Structure formats: C-alpha cells, structure tokens
Amino acid sequence: PSEQAILADTFPPRQRGMAFAIYGVAVVTAPAIGPTLGGWITDNFSWRWIFFINIPVGIVSVILTSLVVEDPPYFVEERKRRSGKLRVDYWGIIFVAIGLGFLQILLDKGERDDWFASNFIRMCGILAAAGLVLAIYWELHEKDPVVDLSLLKERNFAVAAFLMFMVGVILLGSTVLIPQYVQLVMNYSATQAGLVLSPGGLLVMGMLPFVGMLLGKVEARWLIAVGLAITSVALIHMAGFNTGMDYKHIAVARCYQAAGLAFLFVPINTAAYAFVPPNKNNAASGLINLARNVGGSLGISLVTTILDRRAQFHQSRLTESATQLNPLFNQAVNSATRVFGPGRTGDGAYALLMRQLQQQANTLSYIDCFYVMGLGFAILVPLVFVMKKTKPGRAMAGH
C-alpha cells in the first residue's frame, strides 16, 4: 500500500491518473511473466525456487528504496511535531492481526476440513469474528488508529474500497481458476498453463497508459462501469469453455477479461483518492489494499468451494445416466470396447468412460464458477453511479 500513498503524495491531481497507470504497468508485469516463469521453474527445477528467486529482488528493492524514496513535506513536519511522542496503536495491531490471521486460516483450510463441520474451523471462525469486532470497535474510538475506518464515511472511498475488494475476488479467483482448468481438464503442463495467462498480462501492460490518458478526459465512474461490463461479458464468455478448445481460444478469452481489468485498477484508485485529504493518503492506501487482499483470499476460497461442490453435483447427475438402461451409454461402451480390441473385457472401456465423465463434471463445475463471477461483476455496474461525480483529470477535488 505504501507505493500508492507515495504516488498520491508526489504527483499533483492532474497527473495522478497517469502516475497510477505507469505504476499499474509495473504491477501487472508480475502476473504477465510470473505464471510462465513459475511454471518453467516448477517443471525444470523445484517449486522451492519460486521463493528463493525473490531474495535478490528484495535486496535490490531495499537498496533502491533507501536511495530514491523521500518522505513528503507534511509527513516530515508531522514527525517533527510528534518527536518523542509517537503513538503506536498496539491494541489495534493485535486485534487486526488476530481477526485477519484467523480469517485467512479459515479461508485457506475451510474447504479441506469441510468448513464448520470441523472443530478447528469453528474455533478459527470464532476467533476471527471476535478479533474483527474488537478491531472495528477499537479503531473507531482510537485517536491514531492503525486502520482508519473513518475514511469509509466518505462515499467515494467506501464504494471504491468495495469495488477493489470485488476486483480482488475476481482477479485472484480467475487467476487460480484458469491454470487449474487447463492443467486438470486439458492436461497442460505448468509452463503451458502459465503461457495461457501471459498474453492477458501483456495486454493490460499496454492498455494502462491509454486508460491513464483517458482519465484526463473521461470521468472515472464511466471507465469503471466499462471495465466491469467488459469483465462480466468476458467471464460469461469463458463459461463456454469445453474440452475441445485449443490454447488460442483460451488465451484470447483471458485477454478479453484482462481488457476489462485494465479499466478498473487505475480509475478505482483515482476515484478512491478523489476526496481524501493529503494527510490521509497513507491510511487510504492501506485500507484499499487491505480490501483487495482480503477479497483475493476470499476469491480463492470461493472458487475452490464452488469447484468442489459443483463437481460432486455434476458427477452425481452424470452418473445417474451411466446405466445399461440408457441406450446412448450402451452405445458409448460398445464404441470404447472396440478401441480396446477383441478378447478384452469391457472393464477398460467402462473405466475410460468414467474418466471422461469425471472430466465433463470438472468442466461443468468450472463453467459454473465463470458464470457466478461474471454475474457478480454485472451486478456491480449500477453501484458505480452511487459515487460522486468528479471532473476528469482531478484525482482530489479538495486540493
């Protein structure tokens, strides 16, 4: 979150949209090359190197930050004013850590442990709820809160934070969904699965500067609405995936979705800061990124749950038709038996058909996920116009 606050502090309102766009190009470079690079590392070395490779990157980042980044004037003045009187919201940090920490565990392990049928998950839910309730109460009454919830009283920021939460749900949910689909259903390798995502990331990189320029001419609300609509249509289009599709069709569908996301990141961030005072930029950046990260965790958990439950449902329905009373099933068994040649039992043919049935059940469960996410984004479009109107090119009306 700090980088967005630095940009908001450094650039004047008329330049802030383009600054966020250039920053966005750097951000989406990782999703563009990360899946392919990660897949290649996994296939050729070990999954552990996915973590080790970040060590030199982190060292370079620390060096560059110490050399280049400077504190804004108001922050320097505030630090001088509070010299020796710095207040740290320790209780707020503790409550937020407990609430979000146990919520993350609940989301990560919930489906695996059958959610609240597990005593461990129930305990995580109780601790998460208690931590979050205490955190909200404490932060609303604390003079210097670690999470400034008072920002949500500003309508534009509240709507933008919710939209960013939903972008996190869809972005990480679909980023997990597509590689899983091509690997599980279409038998792609990890490298090939990464290559499916890369064109979409490259498209976003190319579009973000264009969106930044549009922010100087078009109201942010309209760009957000366009982004939501495009992403919704793209996700519903993905609901047409089938086992006969090739790499090109899947990569193009991902590009459609990426085109919509390009209209969301920068305009939502710009709208979020529109009526936030400069001394609240750090708090605003932290809160809106928290919304996106929590949304991402929820998105992954939601996708995993829908996939498992709907795969079971579709497999059950398809199995009901796989009986000798069904002439189409008998015909399929006979055709599969001929593949195994004379003298072989029908067990191999039946096993082959069951594998195909499982593959179809998995495909239908992915289709359900794409429909849910697509309809979810479509419902959000009217919410955009709850936001207050801001002049194009003005990221902060109060300045």
Place 398 in a pLDDT band, splitting at 50, 70 and 90.
very low
Q: pLDDT at residue 351 above 80?
A: no
Place 129 in a pLDDT band, splitting at 50, 70 and 90.
very high
Q: pLDDT at residue 41 above 60?
A: yes
Say yes or no: 135 and 172 in one domain: no
Cα–Cα distance measured from residue 167 to residue 83, given in angstroms and rounded to the nearest whole number: 39
Say yes or no: 162 and 136 in one domain: no
**High-pLDDT (> 90) share of the chain, %:** 3
Last residue of a domain, one of 116, 142, 168: 142
Is residue 394 situated within a structural domain? no
* Structural domain range at position 105: 88-142
Is residue 339 situated within a structural domain? no
Say yes or no: 51 and 179 in one domain: yes
Say yes or no: 93 and 201 in one domain: no
Place 395 in a pLDDT band, splitting at 50, 70 and 90.
very low
Is residue 349 situated within a structural domain? no
What is the structure's pLDDT at 50?
A: 79
Closest CA relative to residue 274, chosen from 225, 220, 209? 220
Whether 384 contacts 232, CB under 8 Å: no
Whether 282 contacts 71, CB under 8 Å: no
Residue 125, CB-side half-sphere exposure with 13 Å CA sphere: 11
Say yes or no: 107 and 77 in one domain: no
Say yes or no: 183 and 112 in one domain: no
Number of domains in the chain: 2
Is residue 57 situated within a structural domain? yes
DSSP 8-state code for residue 92: H
Whether 9 contacts 285, CB under 8 Å: no
Is residue 147 situated within a structural domain? no
Say yes or no: 95 and 79 in one domain: no
What is the structure's pLDDT at 249?
A: 86
Strand, coil or helix: 383: helix
Strand, coil or helix: 125: helix
Cα–Cα distance measured from residue 163 to residue 377, given in angstroms and rounded to the nearest whole number: 9
Say yes or no: 168 and 187 in one domain: yes
Say yes or no: 203 and 289 in one domain: yes
Is residue 35 situated within a structural domain? yes
Residues of the chain by 3-state class (helix, strand, coil), percent to 5: 80, 0, 20
Total residues belonging to the chain: 399
Closest CA relative to residue 396, chosen from 284, 265, 273, 286? 273
Q: pLDDT at residue 337 above 60?
A: no
Q: pLDDT at residue 34 above 60?
A: yes
Say yes or no: 132 and 44 in one domain: no
Closest CA relative to residue 298, chosen from 169, 161, 176, 180? 169
Say yes or no: 237 and 310 in one domain: yes
Is residue 296 situated within a structural domain? yes
Whether 376 contacts 229, CB under 8 Å: no
Say yes or no: 67 and 94 in one domain: no
Q: Say which CATH number the domain at 216 has.
A: 1.20.1250.20
Cα–Cα distance measured from residue 267 to residue 272, given in angstroms and rounded to the nearest whole number: 8
**Cβ-based burial of 72 (10 A; exposed 0-12, middle 13-18, buried ≥19):** middle
- For 43-97, what is each residue's pLDDT tens digit? 777 778 878 888 888 899 888 878 877 766 666 666 666 665 656 778 888 888 8
User: How far is residue 397 from each of residues 149, 162, 266, measured CA to CA in Å?
Assistant: 21, 21, 17
Whether 225 contacts 384, CB under 8 Å: yes
Least-confidence region, from 101-105, 186-190, 300-304, 383-387? 186-190
DSSP 8-state code for residue 147: S
